[in-house]
Chains A and B, each alone.
Chain A
Amino acid sequence: MAATYNQLPSVISERPGFARRAARAIAHDWLALFGLVIIAVVVVAALIGPLLAPSPGDGAGVINVDERMLPPSLAYPFGTDWLGRDMLTRVILGARIALQVSLIVVGLAILIGVPLGAIAGYRRGWLDGLIMRITDLFLAFPPLLLAMAIVAALGPGLQNATLALVVSWWPWYARLARGLAVSLREWPFVDASRAMGIRESSIILRHIVPNSLGPIVVQATIDIGTVILAAGGLAFIGLGARPPAPDWGLMVAEGRQYILEQWWLSTFPGLAIFFTVLAFNLVGDLLLRLLDPRQED
């Protein structure tokens, strides 16, 4: 008996020919392909950035007086900043910070939110009411305002910003997972397991959560981009990473005072944020269309 549950596949793999449909969709959709390529580039930069960067030392606060504020050229494709650091290097090194923050935030938000939402939606009753009212409180703040207030209380910095984003992000997953659980609990296979007397916790873990994964993966993909945007915003107003960290949002903020003369200081880190977020949105879109055939054109 136990073997059969273990073999119960999730929604993604259950659909016949998912891989083939995905390949066809990508081939037809050059935008999604573009997104995938960018994500690949960002992931590579995050993994082995220090090996790729022309002058890896420039991630920190080194000073090269002779090479300050050089406009983009062959030697420095993205130019140099007011300390003479190579901007291309700093943009490459920034990929790791951006991905790290967004993966931690989305990952923890899922780990906290999905079980809570699944329990609430499966159990219903007073527990559902309690969990969802707490969720409502966190969602009652306009986006990012709660995160800003938390960072304000804890003090600025990358770690506190990450923590603050987790606190304001998990309720979205709780809400999503609850909605999915509410509809999944009515399915015959869940009824059957209940009738067989299987423990509630196993039903939630083996049926409810795995079958909720499709929409959650779509949301997570889009959210990785959204968190990069949010973390960039926090860094831009001085609540995220501290100098000399090569954080994209921070670099945009630092370059801002030179924007009219040395436009490249803010432009390249800003473009890095934009293209990364764009890529996750494009791929999220693709996944959405693959999971929900109604959306397919």
Chain B
Amino acid sequence: MIRFLLRRLTSSLFVLAGVSVITFWLARLIPSDVAAIYIGPRARPEQIERVREQLGLNEGLITQYLVYMRDMLAGDWGSSIATKRPVLDEILLRLPATLELIVAAMLIALPVGLVLGMLSARWQGRPIDMGVRIVSIVGVSLPAFFLGLLLQILFFRSLDVLPLSGRVDSDLRFVSPIDTVTGVYIVDAAVTGNWSALRDVAWHLILPAITLAAYPIGLISRMTRSAMLESLGKDYIRMARAYGLRERYIVSRLALRNAMVPVLTVIGLTLAYLLTGTFFVEIVFNWPGLGTFAVRSILATDYPAIMGIALFGAAAYVVINLVVDLAQAWVDPRIRLT
């Protein structure tokens, strides 16, 4: 296991290094002069030249890359052109809001997807199987940005039971402000015992979380179904049936355990989807997270911010993949040996 861990760790580091080359090269793709973007539209030529010098743009590409890497590793990810603040600070400032949304979506998608997948494998070919199939295929076909709008029309405009957008009610600041502990409002409200805020935060979280969970629900239920069918077809299951063990025990204990490896794979895929899926949901619901920041930076060609977000996203993804691989190796010893 240690050897497996070391090998995976080194390969992850190589991937990250490669990814940094890609993000670095992307910034050089920008057709216009980066220094000119940096100062703004009314820059004089000598100002542009000064900024070029400051940013090190007159150096050779290799030198530029090495400087970029050194600064990155030292925690200096450059400053956002739009906000003039360090990119890493901007990212970390918005991370809690995005994490709150992603975790909420995962907490919805995982149990719902697993249960649906198991039900449909248990009653293969029956109406419930058909129903789950429709739910999962609709889930993976609905654009998140469109589902969000539909939910807003239904729950805000027609039923008027849930808020339209945002993380908290705009009045909340005056009525019962949330003391920041972690930046994840729902946790902060709970630990400080701020119940009216907790209710408000939870209410705001429902629609975006459901919107973000729709695709993973489809993905998870589908993969769980086929993994379960695969392991239900194995000899030891037939054996267990021959022994007269209860079907519920067979499905939920014996078959599920062996379906865990593909299910872990799908959890990794789900987290990967959520990393960027949240961008669209945040835009629809005016959620002040990483996604909103990313889209705003992209539209403004704020290239230090874009590079930072791309690298941050890729790093998060590499870590997720690493954790999933390790979890799989832990569940299934065969994986460690290959």
Contact = CB atoms under 8 A, between A and B. Distances in A.
A285 B295 contact: no
A232 B149 CA distance: 14
Interface string B264-281: 000000001101100110
5 contacts: A146-B310, A237-B295, A237-B298, A259-B157, A274-B146
B22 A236 contact: no
Contacts of B73: none
Given A152-B298, A259-B152, A270-B143, 15 more contacts: A31-B133, A31-B137, A133-B14, A141-B22, A142-B314, A145-B310, A154-B30, A232-B146, A236-B143, A236-B280, A237-B295, A249-B143, A259-B149, A267-B153, A270-B146
Contact of B303 (A148, A151, A152): A152
A114 interface: no
A297 B137 contact: no
B299 A238 contact: yes
Interface stretch (A4-12, A186-194, A275-283): A275-283
A252 interface: yes
A237 B314 CA distance: 20
B69 interface: no
B103 interface: no
Interface residues of B, number: 58
Interface in A184-234: 225, 229, 232-233
Interface string B1-37: 0000000000000111011011100110111000000
Nearest to A252: B146
A237 B294 CA distance: 10
Interface in B190-208: none
Q: Which of B22, B164, B303 has the most CB of A within 10 A?
A: B22
Nearest to A270: B146
Contacts of A249: 143, 145
B133 to A, nearest CB: 8
Given A140-B15, A145-B314, A154 B137 contact: no
Interface in A26-60: 31
Contacts of B142: 274, 277
Interface in A121-179: 133, 136-138, 140-146, 148-156
Contacts of B55: none
A18 interface: no
Nearest to B215: A229
